[in-house]
Amino acid sequence: MKRTVRHLADGREIIYFDAPGAPERTAEDTRDLPQVAAASEIRRDPLTGEWVAMAAHRQTRTYKPPADLCPLCPTKPGKPSEIPEPDYDVAVFENRFPSFARNVLGDSSTVDGAGLVPVAPGVGRCEVVCFTSDHDGSFAGLTAKQVRAVVDAWADRTAELSAMDGVEQVFPFENRGEEIGVTLHHPHGQIYGYPFVTPKTERLLEVARAYEAEHGRPVMGDVLAAERASGERVVVAGEHWTAFVPPAARWPVQVQIVPHRQVPDIPALSDAERDDFADVYLEVLRRCDGLYDRPLPYIAAWNQAPAKRDRELGWLYLEVFSVLRSKDKLKYLAGSESGMAVWINDATPEQIADRLRATR
């Protein structure tokens, strides 16, 4: 993989990931851009102990631009974009409207100085990952070779962000479809470098620690073995990865893609595991798109171990889930889910798996 680091007009980094022998990346960003002025802060809820980010500057972020003004397409004559080059394979750049940033100023304190609600600067890193230069493409439309390039880019960025001071967890993800809230239709994802370990990951670690103390084995290892032995909820099985509907699925479409070997994060994957992931994931996405005979809106979320602690408890996996419960009906997170975090699914995991396996 050929890696080239350049800078945009306002000083933000852009990193190109190309096949060996690709042209040199030398194009300059000719736009007149002000410096990014992120003013994020984080506050800890005194009732739950969870951190919440405040990023009011994101109200002005780009919202559903016309295709010919897409900021993620390659630059064209008279139409400069976030990607100065006329073409690219995979490009990653610092978000212009970040939820967390390296240059956020401020002191740690408490709300109203009362000592009850801690407040700190939202120091971290947010990046945009452009999977392809094709505006009308999709992740499911990539080749296995292109997916492997994206995996290598995720690995590179996870390793670099994990090493940054103040970054406690790295979260690569993709939002796809307007039903999910996507405002830029070019195929892309994001990477968050959080200044704390997320609530979901804290809960996963808590359960993993207790299970290993009782059984002497990782809980994900036992779940994976049980799913592979049963096969009832398995959607796609590869040499190094298995994709299955979790036995307590919350969403109307939900698939976990799990490596057979315990690794904490994407950088720890071998070449063979990265290649096999590309094949398994593409098959999962094709089946998801075939489920309702339309592109499925989804979130694809990488669950990685924290950057600096409890890494021995982590077991990397990708979770793909959708709010679409039929071709034209959404699952809304209503009273029970939103108010009490108690999920009620309109389908059983076995039904979901059957439907996905039946698609072609």
The two domains 2-197 and 200-358 share their CATH topology (first three levels equal): yes
Rounded Cα distance between 164 and 76, Å, is: 34
Strand locations in 187-265, DSSP E? 188-194, 234-237, 241-244, 253-259
Residue whose C-alpha is closest to residue 266's, from 277, 254, 255: 277
Report d(CA 304, CA 188) in Å as an integer: 20
pLDDT, position 57: 73
What pLDDT score was predicted for residue 38? Answer: 79
Residue with tokens 């790295």: 170
pLDDT < 70 stretches in the chain: 59-60, 63
pLDDT at 287: 97
Hey, where are the domains in the chain?
Answer: 2-197, 200-358
| Residue 103 pLDDT | 85
Residue 203, SS3? helix
In the prediction, which pLDDT does 288 show?
Answer: 97
Say what the pLDDT of residue 53 is: 95
Question: What pLDDT sits at residue 63?
Answer: 65
- Please report, in angstroms and rounded to a whole number, the separation of the first and last CA atoms in the chain: 33
Task: Note the CATH architecture for domain 2-197.
Answer: 2-Layer Sandwich (3.30)
Backbone angles phi, psi at 236, to 5 degrees: -140, 135
126-179 tens-digit pLDDT: 999 999 999 999 999 999 999 999 999 999 999 999 999 999 999 999 999 999
Phi-psi region of 49 (alpha: psi -120 to 50; beta: other; left: phi over 0): left
To the question of whether residue 73 is assigned a binding role by annotation, the answer is yes
135 marked as binding residue: yes
In this prediction, residue 353 carries a pLDDT of: 98
Buried residues in 32-59 as b, exposed as e (16+ CB within 10 A): eeeebebebbbbbeeeeeebebebebbe
Asked whether 234 and 228 are in contact (CB, 8 A), the reply is: yes
How much is the pLDDT for 123?
Answer: 95
The CATH homologous superfamily of the domain defined by 200-358: HIT-like (3.30.428.10)
Cα torsion through 44, 45, 46, 50, rounded to 10: -70
Comparing CA positions, the residue from 68, 64, 87, 90 lying closest to residue 79 is: 68
Catalytic residue IDs: 188
DSSP state, residue 338:
I
Q: Binding residue per annotation — 70? A: yes
Please give the pLDDT value at position 281: 98
What pLDDT is recorded for position 42? 96
186 is in an annotated binding site: yes
Helix (H, G, I), strand (E, B) or coil at 59: helix
